[in-house]
């Protein structure tokens, strides 16, 4: 069970990263979050690395990258490119208001046994005896005589918010599905010295006692990691103080036994965002 849990952790991290170890943080880094004028573009980096926000490990994957325009309709990314350490893309902010950009992934991970041999479902491709890549099995490929079927639903959100002109709240409306952020404080109105409040929801209901990690960027230019682990209250609300202006990475995970997919024993959900805090 322990090994399965570990494998699930690894698989979840790999959902959005082509290859690499699980411990790395996946991040989106916008060139800005507040824009004025009539022809604004935001350019966004995406990568996985330990130190924020230094692209020194693996690029993020741009397939599955979504754009929500201020009215909630789908937009598009432009000039996408994946390099050795990071992916880059642009979004033209041609409508005023708040935009949401990010990925929502959902997958099944796990294992089963056939004739005493363990096989894996989902996750990263395996390697055969001659070094060839073996695509992971899907749920449909689990044979009828399989035993010890253990499947977990893995859902991940990683999103950022950028605003052209006045902030709007259409894209902030929770969907009621999975783990998500209900922004009481608008994510593009964060100021050093002011407390921001975010409610975390699981299937639309407040997630009490959820542990949330907040890490400031710029690790290379200070000694301390600076990560804080905060906990949501009984109402699911997280209060975050911002000691200084800058970019912050926020991440939380949640697991329970309420999988929405048949045969899955449970689910593991994660939420990640990058927030820009301004000087007063």
Partner 1 sequence: MRFVASMLVAGAVAAPATAGTVSVTIPRLSVAEYHRPYVAVWIEPAGGGAARTLAIWYDTKKRGNEPGTKWLADLRAWWRKGGRSLQMPANGVSGATRPPGTHTIPLPADLKPGAYTLNVEAARETGGRELVQLPLTVPTKAARAAGSHELGAVTLSAR
Which window, 31-39, 65-73, 100-108, 227-235, contacts partner 1 (CB under 8 A)?
31-39
Q: Is 103 in the site for partner 1 (CB under 8 A)?
A: no
Residue 243, SS3 per DSSP? coil
* Min separation Cβ 276 and partner 1, Å: 11
Query: Total residues at the site for partner 1 (CB under 8 A)?
Result: 15
Region of 32-40, 42-50, 106-114, 196-204 interacting with partner 1 (CB under 8 A) = 32-40
Which residue, 40 or 58, has its beta carbon nearer to partner 1? 40
The answer to whether the beta carbons of residues 29 and 87 sit under 8 Å apart is no
Q: Which is nearer to partner 1, 63 or 166 (CB)?
A: 166
Task: Return the number of the residue (164 or 201) whose C-beta is nearest partner 1.
Answer: 164
Choice from 62, 77, 208, 278 touching partner 1 (CB under 8 A): 278
d(CA 45, CA 32) in angstroms, rounded, equals 11
Minimal distance, residue 94 CB to partner 1, in Å: 13
Tokens of 34: 């507040």
CB of 241 to partner 1, least distance (A): 18
Among 37, 115, 116, 209, binds partner 1 (CB under 8 A): 37
Residue of the chain from 9, 34, 139, 146 that contacts partner 1 (CB under 8 A): 34
Segment 141 to 180, residues that bind partner 1, using CB under 8 A = 165-167
What b/e sequence results for 80-105 when a residue is b if at least 16 CB atoms lie within 10 Å of its CB, and e otherwise? eebeeebbbbebbbeebbbbbbbbee
Contact 163, 98 (CB under 8 A): yes
Helix H or strand E encompassing 11: helix 2-14
In this structure, what token pair is assigned to residue 244? 């200084």
**Tokens at residue 39, please?**
């022809």
Beta carbons within 8 Å of 203's beta carbon, 6+ residues apart: 176, 177, 178, 258
Q: Tokens 């699980």: give the residue.
A: 22
Residue 43 or 255 with smaller CB distance to partner 1: 43
Q: Which is nearer to partner 1, 3 or 279 (CB)?
A: 279
By the 8 A CB rule, do 214 and 200 touch? no
| Near partner 1 by CB under 8 A: residue from 35, 161, 200, 271 | 35
Task: Rule CB under 8 A: choose which of 36, 130, 147, 234 binds partner 1.
Answer: 36
Binders of partner 1 among 185-244, rule CB under 8 A?
189, 191
- Residue corresponding to tokens 């570990």: 6
* CB of 111 closer than 8 Å to CB of 10: no
| Alpha carbons 192 and 277: distance in angstroms, whole number | 6
Residues 11-30 that bind partner 1 (CB under 8 A): none
Binding mask 38-67 for partner 1 (x = CB under 8 A): xxx---------------------------
Cα gap 3→155, rounded to integer Å: 20
Of residues 182 and 194, the one with the C-beta less far from partner 1: 194
Binding site for partner 1 (CB under 8 A): 34-40, 165-167, 189, 191, 278-280
């Amino acid at each position: 069970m322990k090994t399965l849990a570990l494998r699930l952790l690894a698989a979840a991290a790999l959902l959005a990263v082509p290859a690499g170890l699980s411990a790395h943080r996946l991040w989106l880094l916008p060139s800005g979050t507040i824009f004025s004028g009539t022809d604004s573009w935001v350019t966004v980096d995406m990568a996985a690395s330990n130190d924020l926000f230094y692209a020194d490990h693996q690029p993020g994957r741009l397939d599955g990258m979504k754009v929500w325009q201020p009215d909630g309709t789908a937009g598009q990314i432009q000039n996408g490119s994946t390099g050795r350490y990071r992916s880059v893309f642009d979004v033209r902010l041609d409508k005023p208001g708040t935009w949401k950009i990010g990925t929502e992934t959902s997958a099944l991970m796990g294992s089963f046994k056939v004739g005493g041999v363990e096989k894996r479902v989902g996750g990263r491709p395996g390697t055969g005896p001659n070094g060839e890549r073996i695509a992971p099995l899907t749920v449909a490929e689990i044979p009828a005589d399989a035993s010890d079927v253990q499947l977990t639903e893995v859902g991940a959100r990683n999103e950022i918010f950028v605003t052209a002109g006045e902030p709007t709240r259409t894209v902030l409306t929770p969907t009621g599905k999975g783990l998500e952020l209900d922004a009481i404080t608008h994510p593009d109105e964060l100021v050093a010295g002011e407390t921001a409040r975010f409610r975390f929801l699981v299937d639309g209901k407040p997630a009490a006692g959820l542990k949330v990690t907040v890490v400031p960027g710029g690790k290379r230019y200070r000694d301390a990691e600076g990560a804080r682990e905060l906990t949501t209250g009984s109402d699911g609300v997280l209060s975050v103080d911002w000691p200084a202006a800058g970019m912050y990475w926020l991440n939380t995970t949640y697991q329970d036994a309420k999988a929405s997919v048949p045969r899955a024993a449970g689910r593991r959900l994660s939420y990640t965002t990058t927030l820009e805090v301004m000087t007063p």
